[in-house]
Structure 1
Amino acid sequence: MAQFSLNKEGATTDVVSAAINPAPLGLSAFALTTFVLSSANANLFAGASVVIGLALFYGGLCQLLAGMWEFKMGNTFGATAFSSYGGFWLAVGVSLQFKLIPNDTAFGFFLLGWTIFTGLMFIGTLRSNYALMGVFFFLFLTFLALMIGALGGGSTFTVIGGWLGIITALVAWYTALAGLLTTVKAPFLLPIGQRP
């Protein structure tokens, strides 16, 4: 964490600028919001509108902030991922709140765009670590299944997408915890499968 001290004029100045990692926040916001909506898609409960608040504030705003902090740190991949998926959740939250989705086909094309984007992001992870690769791999499969369901494949694909989304959320939470544990005096660390 950054430490502050007062300069001779009485203003605060940043005297130690340690690397602060916004990824655990972004991954946690993504994971929880994904988990809730995916649980509804998997038919574990009815009433997906419960995700609206999460989509707007945790999945949306917190991820967007994490993305901006990643930009400040010079991490283009993290900034692109968190900012984009923060925007995704903001769009989902607003669309659900104001009933802006005219039909399944329109939503299917929305999901098609996110499937393509997530495929590109997965390619970007191929030289990172296995945990991050897992997040984007399962997210790609989630979007793919949901897109097929929305474009006429039937509700079975939506349920499959829900279960894949739950797996995605669990992998994202694991990855978030692995990053978080490196910032505290944890009794153990979680392996993320560093690539050579």
Structure 2
Amino acid sequence: MNENHYDEIHVEKEIKKPDIIDVDIKSMTNNIIDPSPIGVFGLAIGAWILSMTDFGTASGENEVRIAWIAWLPSIAQLLAGFYDSFRGNVFGATSFVGYAFYWFSLTGAWYAARDVDYKAEHEFLYFAVVDICFFIFTIYELAFALGINLVLSAILFFILGSLLSCALQIINGISPKVNATFLMIISLLSFWFSLGGIFNGAAGGNLIPMGPGLWKWDEVIINLKKKQEEKLNEKINLN
């Protein structure tokens, strides 16, 4: 065997050598399960705990609430958001990560103010400002969710009510039981959504009814693309 022939074989082996860069990333992300059941389960627990404290049926001590809210809803939703980002789900990633940061920030503020009576301090009006900001965030999240299913839309609708009642509780001093009612409804709907996500995902069908969306985003996107193509064709014909 001459030297040139050996070099050709050596080069061919190097070309066929498997490389991690050649792995199909898209096929890997398609194998990631839907993380929404665990993310919404975290919301169900957090909303239930807050509802109990606002109803006055459990301790309202900040340390007790922080123990549950910091580790369950925050971490569960943050992980769900990361997994949704790997799956290319912009809506899920934005929603879960956004609300996870809300829980993290809320518990951090509670911990910092654990020895302060925030009802007597005007500086704590920023709680109301944050609630209003997340109220705006939830409005366009709800607008998108209306095209997914009714249970998710209902959860976001009652989150709007909870955020608004929280802001009014700080500004006008309305009863915390108003927010507690919203939170309990959110918790129950979240348990249903989590249940549906597990059973429907495992069965590949609609075992647990979630309610159809008011419209289909796929159809909306197709119609938009058709209109864009029609406009392009009109410009081409004019030229």
TM-score norm. by structure 2 comes to 0.69
**Counterpart position of 2:87:** 73
What is the distance in 1 between the residues matched to 2:178 and 2:56?
A: 10
What is the distance in 1 between the residues matched to 2:168 and 2:104?
A: 22
What is the distance in 1 between the residues matched to 2:179 and 2:211?
A: 26
The residue identity in structure 2 corresponding to 1:191 is P
The answer to whether structure 1 residue 31 and structure 2 residue 51 are counterparts is no
Checking the alignment, whether the CA contact within 8 Å between 2:32 and 2:83 is kept in structure 1 is no
1:132, distance to aligned residue in structure 2 (A):
0.6
The residue identity in structure 1 corresponding to 2:147 is R
Unaligned runs of 5+ in 1: 1-8
Q: Secondary structure at the match of 1:182?
A: helix
For residues 37-186 of structure 1, what are the structure 2 equivalents within 5 Å? Answer: 37-49=50-62, 50-99=64-113, 103-152=123-172, 154-156=173-175, 158-184=176-202
1:107, distance to aligned residue in structure 2 (A):
1.4
What is the distance in 1 between the residues matched to 2:37 and 2:190?
A: 9
Q: Which runs of 4+ in 1 moved over 3 A?
A: 13-17, 100-104, 183-186
1:42, distance to aligned residue in structure 2 (A):
2.4
Q: Secondary structure at the match of 2:71?
A: helix
The residue identity in structure 2 corresponding to 1:122 is L
Unaligned runs of 5+ in 2: 1-17, 216-239
The residue identity in structure 2 corresponding to 1:151 is I
What is the distance in 2 between the residues matched to 1:169 and 1:48?
A: 21
**Counterpart position of 1:6:** none
Checking the alignment, whether the CA contact within 8 Å between 1:29 and 1:63 is kept in structure 2 is yes
Checking the alignment, whether the CA contact within 8 Å between 1:39 and 1:163 is kept in structure 2 is no
1:106, distance to aligned residue in structure 2 (A):
2.2
1:68, distance to aligned residue in structure 2 (A):
0.7
Q: Secondary structure at the match of 1:144?
A: helix
Q: Secondary structure at the match of 1:194?
A: coil
Higher helix share: 2
1:104, distance to aligned residue in structure 2 (A):
4.3
For residues 8-27 of structure 1, what are the structure 2 equivalents within 5 Å? Answer: 18-27=31-40
What is the distance in 2 between the residues matched to 1:104 and 1:155?
A: 16
Q: Which has the larger radius of gyration?
A: 2
What is the distance in 1 between the residues matched to 2:59 and 2:99?
A: 24
Checking the alignment, whether the CA contact within 8 Å between 1:63 and 1:85 is kept in structure 2 is yes
